[in-house]
Amino acid sequence: MTITAAADGSALGNPGPAGWAWFVNENCWAAGGWPHATNNQGELQAVLELFRATAHLDEDLLILCDSQYVINSVTKWMPGWKRKGWRKADGKPVLNVEILQQIDEALQGRRYRFEWVKGHANHPLNEAADERARAVSTAYQNRTAIPSGPGWTGAGSTDGATGAPRTTEAPRTTEAPRVPAFTEEPAQPGLFDWAEEPATVSLTLNLDADTHTRLLSRARAERLSPEALIRSLL
């Protein structure tokens, strides 16, 4: 049997109030977050929490993820980082290393694979995870109870859990990760298809006048720079 689950993260303002979530079905999901973190940290934490929630099982695990950064970090770059003492090719420390080291430990002996799915493209499991991660981010922003979910109830469970989210005053993840100055990369297929993570990534966007105007208007409305707004959407 293969367990199929989506993992996703959210950060309002990026960095800002942040959430993570994994989702199998309406009766089997979990979410948590921090008052201040990045989208990538939410994405990584969702994967970590999914590994932890299924650690007692012997089934294969298929992780649906819309972040090329996360997939490549875990499946391509991590072995090289470990050999270099958790440093990148340019000698600088790996970003989000605390979460990555925990993922490295959690996946030992596990049978798993990742599958990239396009975000915000009506994929039902991805949309469900995204919705729950964003709900946690919003709860932190509004200082309301955290919708943490029923947790692991079994991939085929239809009883013993109502699917209604539990709410708690404290987050499931109590220690917020350190937020680097910039960690967010756009999740576009092929953009991170490198054997090893490069030192920097530069992107150029060609926008027509109408799109540029709408981008500026939305950025002003959300009190963000255009660059920060774009990062928050990736």
Q: Residues marked as binding for Mg(2+)?
A: 8, 43, 66, 130
Q: Which amino acid is at 110?
A: R
Nearest CA-CA partner of 176 in 31, 36, 52? 36
Per annotation, catalytic residue among 9, 13, 16, 149: 9
For residue 58, indicate whether it is catalytic. Answer: no
How crowded is residue 8: how many other Cβ atoms within 10 Å of its Cβ?
32
For residue 60, indicate whether it is catalytic. Answer: no
Per annotation, catalytic residue among 59, 60, 115, 120: 120
For residue 212, indicate whether it is catalytic. Answer: no
Per annotation, catalytic residue among 13, 32, 49, 66: 66
Per annotation, catalytic residue among 130, 184, 185, 197: 130
For residue 43, indicate whether it is catalytic. Answer: yes
CB 149 within 8 A of CB 165: yes
Q: How far apart are CA 34 and CA 11, in angstroms?
A: 9
Q: Which residues of 25-54 are buried (b: 16+ CB within 10 A; e: fewer)?
A: bebbbbbbbbebbbbbbbbbbbbbbbbebb
Per annotation, catalytic residue among 43, 49, 184, 185: 43
Residue 130 CB partners (closer than 8 Å, separation 6+): 8, 10, 21, 66, 119, 120
- Active-site amino acid positions: 8-9, 43, 66, 120, 130
